[in-house]
Amino acid sequence: MGFDCDIKICRSLCCRNCAVVTEDEAIALIGKVKKEYGLDLELKKYFRKAQGEHGHYFAVKMIKGQCIFLDKEKRCRIYRCRPKLCELYPVVDIDVVDARCPDVMKNRFSQDMLETLKKRYAIEVDERIRKEQIFCFV
């Protein structure tokens, strides 16, 4: 299931959320990006450590409030390999949708689509990350 939004309207609002992944997910993402795009990503250059109550994680680095993977046109350079939290946006928690998303405000998502994304969030996002309330970045 995919959804094409108009980034001219939102200016990639979804890419202003800091995607947090497990270490295994970060390493897998680096491998997928190498295979799919031929880009060599370094863990320390593209991710920063994040600490939660339930574990240690990695967060995609942000530059001036936007994801490090955005290009000058505000398009994701690793779109086909993006983290699960990015893929499931505008769902930002099991039962939470980012109401700031212009497509949510304009009701461009059907209830069925949002429910499917919420179910995927519950299944596909690492259980420890789902439990976290706050991340401290180190």
Mind listing the pLDDT tens digit of every residue in the chain (138 residues)? 445 666 666 667 678 788 999 999 999 999 999 999 999 999 999 999 999 999 999 999 999 989 999 998 888 999 999 999 999 999 999 999 998 888 888 888 899 999 999 999 999 999 999 999 899 998
- Nearest Cα to Cα of residue 82 among 137, 6, 16, 30: 30
Q: What angle do CA 119, 125, 126 make, to 5 degrees?
A: 135
Task: Show me where the domains of the chain are located.
Answer: 7-128
* Res 10: pLDDT: 66
Q: Which two tokens stand for residue 103?
A: 């497509």
Q: Verify cis geometry, omega within 30 degrees of 0, for the bond prior to 90.
A: yes
* Res 102: pLDDT: 82
Q: Which two tokens stand for residue 113?
A: 């689509």
* Res 1: pLDDT: 44
* Res 130: pLDDT: 94
| Nearest-angstrom CA–CA distance, 112 and 64 | 35
Q: Which amino acid is it at 81? A: C
* Res 5: pLDDT: 66
Provide the strand spans (E) within the chain. 20-21, 47-52, 55-60, 62-63, 66-67, 91-93, 96-97, 136-137
